[in-house]
Amino acid sequence: MALVELHNVSKSFRKGDETITPLDQVTLEIEAGEFLSLMGPSGTGKSTLLNLVSGIDRPDSGKIIVAGTDITQLSRSKLADWRAANLGYIFQTHNLIPVLTAYENVELPTLLLKLSSRERQERVNLALEAVGLSDRANHYPRQLSGGQEQRIGIARAIVAHPKVVVADEPTGSLDVETSEQIQVLLKRLNEELDITLLMVTHDRDVAQIATRQLLLDRGKLVPSGESELENVR
């Protein structure tokens, strides 16, 4: 059984008189340990797909099974608990809380888990170590560079030891050099810590670091290289 399974998942939105269907009977399997990238022109539904896999939004029809749990069947409160334990989210802009230190920002998701204070501390320290920023634990976001802030955002996404980490344009706000450092980090997290990653990107070079590349094309997922939209950025 794959770690993440989408079975005939559809999602539509009303826009005035029009109905748009960013996801039309999408079926997808992501194996544990895979690093999958998802490309596609603006507005095609990439973030919609991430939001469904993360349980932030619900499909109109179809099933989404993550590590054996059909998350489309969970109540709102169960879904919140499920998300805290199973899902990490890396944003385009890091979304760190400015009045908390790097350590406290990374610690936040662990407060939703039943952990002893010692376990919590160990997890935060491990996550900071994994992103190479143990020495910045007591710094506030304003005292960090853009790349360091994104690293802290990544530490926060992995601190709860989630089954899946989704990343929405994780390098989208970074300069070329910093973007390359974040790409190396994501690849290392996948290869060395076996973190399963689903990453949306507009950048073909960034997509290449994944072990599998897909494109969202008119409501359907297609392997990269098999769509006429390939040249659209």
Ligand X SMILES: Nc1ncnc2c1ncn2[C@@H]1O[C@H](COP(=O)(O)OP(=O)(O)OP(=O)(O)O)[C@@H](O)[C@H]1O
Beta-strand relationship, 196-200 and 18-30: unpaired
Residue 227's identity, in one-letter code, is S
- What one-letter code names the amino acid at 97? I
Cα 16 to Cα 13, 19, 20, distances in angstroms: 10, 8, 10
Q: Select from 4, 37, 44, 148 the one that contacts ligand X (CB under 6 A).
A: 44
Whichever of 23 and 164 has its CB closer to ligand X, that residue is 23
37 CB contacts (<8 Å, ≥6 apart)? 199, 200, 201, 206, 207, 208, 209, 210, 212, 213, 214, 224
46 near ligand X (CB under 6 A): yes
Residue 169 CB, nearest approach to ligand X (Å): 7
| Cβ 202 to ligand X shortest distance, Å | 6
171 makes contact with ligand X (CB under 6 A): no
Q: Which of 42, 75, 77, 117 binds ligand X (CB under 6 A)?
A: 42
Q: Which of these segments, 35-43, 62-70, 134-142, 175-183, binds ligand X (CB under 6 A)?
A: 35-43
Nearer to ligand X, 47 or 227 (CB): 47
Residue 49 or 124 with smaller CB distance to ligand X: 49
Asked if residue 54 binds ligand X (CB under 6 A), the reply is no
Q: Is 223 in the site for ligand X (CB under 6 A)?
A: no
C-alpha closest to that of 124 among 141, 102, 140, 144 = 102
* Shorter beta-carbon distance to ligand X: residue 40 or 55: 40
Please, where are the H alpha helices in the chain? 46-53, 76-86, 102-107, 117-130, 146-158, 176-192, 204-207
Number of residues that bind ligand X (CB under 6 A): 11
The CB-of-38 to ligand X minimum distance in angstroms stands at: 9
CB of 207 to ligand X, least distance (A): 13
**At a CB cut-off of 8 Å and minimum separation 6, what does 208 contact?**
37
Kindly tell me which residue out of 6, 9, 22, 96 binds ligand X, with binding defined by CB under 6 A: 22
- The single residue among 4, 28, 36, 47 that binds ligand X, judged by CB under 6 A, is 47
CB 79 within 8 A of CB 57: no
* 6 DSSP 8-state letter: E
Regarding 13 and contact with ligand X (CB under 6 A), the answer is: yes
> Which residues are near ligand X by CB under 6 A?
13, 20, 22, 40, 42-48
